[in-house]
Amino acid sequence: MSSARDIMSRKVVSTRPSCKVAEVTRVLYFHGISGLPVIDDSHCVIGMVTEADILGRTTEQETVQDIMTAPALTISEETPLEEIAALLTDKKVKRLPVVTDDKLVGIVSRADVVRALAGRR
C-alpha cells in the first residue's frame, strides 16, 4: 500500500510568518503553485497560506502571519494513500504538508494522489 513517503514531493517551497503578503504572492506565481506551508525557525509547520488567503489583501504591511490558516493540517510519511485522499476530500484542502517530528519533509498534493491512483508513480 502506498503512503505519503512514496508520493510526496521532497522539494517544498515554503515561507515564514514574517514574509510580506506581496512577496508570497510573487512566490506563488513564480512557482506556479497555489499554496505554501508556513514554517518557523526550526522548520516546524505552523500554518498554510494559499491563494484564497491572499485574495482581497491589498495592505502592504500585512504579513503571512496575518492571513495564514493555522494550525496546518499535516500528515506523516507513513500516512496511507487512502487516508490522504480522504483528508484532502473531507477537509477540502489541495495539499498536505508531510512532517517528521513536526518538521517539514515534503508535501502531497491532490495531483500526487491522482498520479498514484492511476499507477503512474
Per-residue pLDDT tens for 61-110? 899 999 999 999 999 999 999 999 999 999 999 999 999 998 999 999 99
Domains of the chain: which residue ranges? 4-118
Mean pLDDT of the chain: 93
Specify the pTM. 0.91
15 forms beta bridges with 38
Q: Does the N-terminal peptide bond of residue 37 adopt cis geometry, omega within 30 degrees of 0?
A: no
**Domain 4-118 -> CATH class:** alpha beta
Where do the DSSP E strands lie in the chain?
35-39, 45-50, 95-100, 103-109
Q: How far apart are the first and last CA of the chain?
A: 13
